[in-house]
Amino acid sequence: MALDTGTEALARLAEERVDHRFKGLPPDADGLTVAELTRQGRNLFTGGFTTPVLALSAERLEHNLRLMETYATRHGLAFAPHGKTSMAPQLFHRQIEHGAWGITLAVPHQVRVARAFGIQRVFLANELVDAAALRWISSELDADPDFRFVCYADSVRGVGLMDAALSDAGASRPVDVVVELAAGEGARTGVRTEAECAAVADAVAGARTLRLAGVAGYEGEVPDADPEKVHAWLRRLVALAVDFDKAGRFDGLADIMVSAGGSAWFDAVADVFAEVPDLSLPVLKLLRSGAYVSHDDGHYRELTPFNRVPEEGALEPAFRLWSQVVSRPSPEQAFTNAGKRDAAYDLHLPFAQVVRRDGAERVATGVEVTGLSDQHAWLRTTAEADLEVGDWLGTGLSHPCTSFDKWQLIPLAQADGTVVDYIRTFF
């Protein structure tokens, strides 16, 4: 059974020894525990950290956590942020401290991590037909009556596989499933039509080991998404819940779950979920946006709903990757020692932001990242660029989902560089 609060598991993270596994950390810290290193309060720039090193802003992280807590409360939404973004149990618990209903995940391994750190509510935003994983989920449910687990279903075949695996495991508690409505033809997973949704719901009703808990989907997959199309799809999702309720499919539940929400259209989710009519049971309106926790300097900074509704506030990019200029072969070119192994690059290249030299920091005028090799960033420099070998270059990153996964232990640093914690990730 998972720990009730995760406190003991988080404490064990602090007792982990710092060594060569964790890039960027001070070599002279080898052998210290994470707790011991944290208590030293080293400075990111003068405390022996080596480049490249990724840092998470303590102030901006806290701002983002508070902003989304306020947003969800204001709009009457329960919140289960997608934990696959960070896979950092410390952040899971901070999100729950800031009002999150639970944590959303994508694959069984991630659920195992969450359970090892005491997470009591998990929404698996994916279909689950792996017999070994279902046996484990069943054992967790049977051992812990307070554990709630919900996953997608989008086919009669999948429902049958789930029921067979859970029956073989001797499951005593049913697994809650939500019927996933696809975002349209050519979208990712999900049932394409309402008639097929009803067939999947019928299959769930006929399975002893499953229970229909609601409906869900992901509006970020709407083809050629724009506000009108996203709102229309979300209204389809709500209408599906209404139809299921009228048919008595949710009898015996405590509430009806209606869930959506990536990080690009959560304003549309809030708009449409506010329109959900009264049903036979209370409705759990579950938002799942996860990239907000660190935000970014590219993809989500451009797409964030707060750009469309600025009166709601603004998220702040919380990551900065520091690397060092190691080569300046010409006035138009320079190279730092961070590459694809260190920086997210699947959507945008890193953004040159600041240069540090001799303790002074300035805007990286005339510096542009134009490419990444395995361990080098290619920089194009103009005549305005004041850049020398040995300078530290601070870059912003795009797409937090592929930033966290490159670093196992990330310094959490205050604005003055003081490191106040280290965030452990599990990918």
What is the per-residue pLDDT across 98-150, written as a single tens digit (0 to 9) for each? 999 999 999 999 999 999 999 999 999 999 999 999 999 999 999 999 999 99
Give residue 410's pLDDT. 98
Distance CA 10, CA 56 (A): 19
Give residue 367's pLDDT. 98
Question: What contacts 393, CB < 8 A, 6 or more positions away?
Answer: 322, 323, 324, 325, 336, 352, 354, 355, 356, 364, 367, 377, 379, 387
Give residue 74's pLDDT. 97
Give residue 3's pLDDT. 42
Which residues are paired to 178 by β-bridges?
Answer: 152, 214
- Domains of the chain, start order: 7-57+316-424 (2.40.37.20), 120-288 (3.20.20.10)
- Given a contact cutoff of 8 angstroms between Cβ atoms, the answer to whether 331 and 408 are in contact is no
How do strand 53-57 and strand 103-105 relate by DSSP bridges?
unpaired
- Given a contact cutoff of 8 angstroms between Cβ atoms, the answer to whether 30 and 18 are in contact is yes
Backbone torsions φ then ψ of 80, nearest 5 degrees: -125, 80
Tell me: the pLDDT tens digits for 155-183? 999 999 999 999 999 999 999 999 999 99
Give residue 5's pLDDT. 63
Q: Where are the alpha helices (DSSP H) in 5-150?
A: 7-14, 34-40, 58-74, 89-97, 108-116, 131-143
Average pLDDT along the chain, 427 residues, taken 10 residues at a time: 70 97 98 98 98 98 98 98 95 98 98 98 98 98 98 98 98 98 94 98 98 97 95 98 98 97 94 98 97 89 87 96 98 98 94 97 98 98 97 94 94 98 97
Cis peptide before 52 (omega within 30 of 0): yes
Of 347, 385, 336, 349, nearest in space to 53 by CA: 336
